[in-house]
Structures are given as C-alpha cells and as structure tokens.
Chain A
Amino acid sequence: MSPRAAWRLESLGFTQVYDYAAGEADWFANGLPREGRDASIPRVGDVADREVPTCQLDDHIGDVRERVRATGCDTCLVMNDERVVLGRLRGNTFDAPAERSAEELMVAGPTTIRPDVRVTEMLERMREKNIASVIVTTSDGRLVGLMDRASAERAIPAEVTVR
C-alpha cells in the first residue's frame, strides 16, 4: 500500500518522497512511540525481557547453568552469531552432565512469536494453552526476548479486558 502511495505522491509533483515499507509493524515491534485509541495496549515487544540468558550451540551445559541460575531464570535460548534462535534449554536439562553441549540438550526450533502482537491477544492464548513463557523474535528469527505470563498479566492496563 505505501509504495503505491509514494508513487502517487510523486505523480502529484512531490519530489522528496520516502517509503517506510516495514511500516507500523516494525515501528511497534521496536517499542517506539505510538498514538491512538489502542496505543495503551502493550505489544509483546514492549514486555519481553531482553536480558534473557543465551548461549551458543557448543557451550557446555555446566557453564550455561551457572549463568542461568545466577539470573533466576529457568530458560536459556540457544543462538548463533546472528542472534537467530536455534533452540531452547530449560527445566531438568540444566542437570545434565557438565560436559554435554547446548546443541545436544536443546529443544530445537521452538515456537516463536512476533513482537508486534498485542499482549492481550497473546495472553489469551497463553492462558488457553497453559503456556508459561513465549520466545519473541523478529520475522527473520532474531531474538527480541522472552515474555512470561506474569509479566504479560502485569503489563495490561486495568481498564482492558482479556477474555
């Protein structure tokens, strides 16, 4: 839609026309200022914890668990150098022998959601399916953070109802 608007403006004689094709989805996903009737409803990207523990495929679980336990988090996301999420470690996987690698122990290809999704919508799904936390990535798989259900519940303004 915006490319056509940009071309139309040029046809009307505008000479400095730019197209932000990534649009609102990209803007909202990055927590930048927004306005409007629904602007107070947070997006997943606003609530996600961006300090979630991470590791690389070849990291040893013995090292990883020390870091993860120090944060109080129960999850560690396995990423490559491009910050693309490849797997998830949690629960009793941290009790595995110290020399085992994240690659061996991770759950590969975990489900992820986009940061522009409204928290209200995601929370409804989390309640229905009893999901404790969700991994938030950009559409090309790069990590944004981890959103847990308690944080999502706290983020919703009192006047907003979630089914």
Chain B
Amino acid sequence: MPTDVTREEVQQLVAAGAQLVDVLPADEYAAEHIAGACNLPLKELNRETAARLDRDRAVIVYCWDYQ
C-alpha cells in the first residue's frame, strides 16, 4: 500500500536517495515542476516506461495537489 508523505518527509526521502516523479502531463511538467523531479505521466505509466525508474530505490509520486 503506498504511503502518504508530507513535504518534510519528501525532503528527507530525497536526501536519502528517493526518486521524485511528477505524474502530470509532459507539457505541465515542462512549464514547472519540483526541482530534481523526472516526468512519468500517469497516462503513459506502464511496464515499459516504469523501467526508467530504479526498483531498488524509493519512489515518490506527485501531481498538482489532491486531484
């Protein structure tokens, strides 16, 4: 079950090596995103695209807010 995290926990996890993933569409990511995040839009999330992520490290996903 995915774990909900706060802003402070995100900062701690990233400092410990977690991958930060913006799941918004590519154009929204291009406009603005959290520094250091990569883009993997929800609509394109599948076995092939997820292979870009390191399975051995934590993954934090985010979008704009509670949408």
Contacts and interface: CB of A to CB of B under 8 A. Distances in A.
Nearest to A24: B64
B55 A13 contact: yes
Contacts of A9: 2, 45, 50, 53, 59, 61
B36 to A, nearest CB: 8
A1 to B, nearest CB: 4
A20 B10 contact: yes
Contact of B4 (A4, A12, A19, A38): A19
Interface stretch (A26-34, A54-62, A64-72, A141-149): A26-34
B6 to A, nearest CB: 7
A10 to B, nearest CB: 6
Contacts of A28: 32
Given A8-B45, A18-B2, A23 B55 contact: no
Chain B interface size, as a band, is: 35 or more
B61 A22 contact: no
Chain A interface size, as a band, is: 35 or more
A1 B63 contact: yes
A140 to B, nearest CB: 13
Contacts of A6: 2, 61
A20 B13 CA distance: 11
A4 B6 CA distance: 17
Contact of A20 (B31, B40, B46, B62): B62
B3 A24 contact: no
Interface of B: 1-7, 9-10, 13, 18, 21-24, 29-37, 40, 42, 45-47, 50, 53, 55, 57-67
Top 9 closest pairs, chain A to chain B, by CB: A6-B2, A33-B35, A16-B58, A25-B65, A36-B32, A1-B63, A20-B62, A5-B23, A18-B60
Interface of A: 1-10, 12-28, 30, 32-39
11 contacts: A1-B67, A14-B50, A14-B59, A17-B2, A18-B5, A19-B5, A19-B61, A21-B62, A24-B33, A34-B34, A34-B35
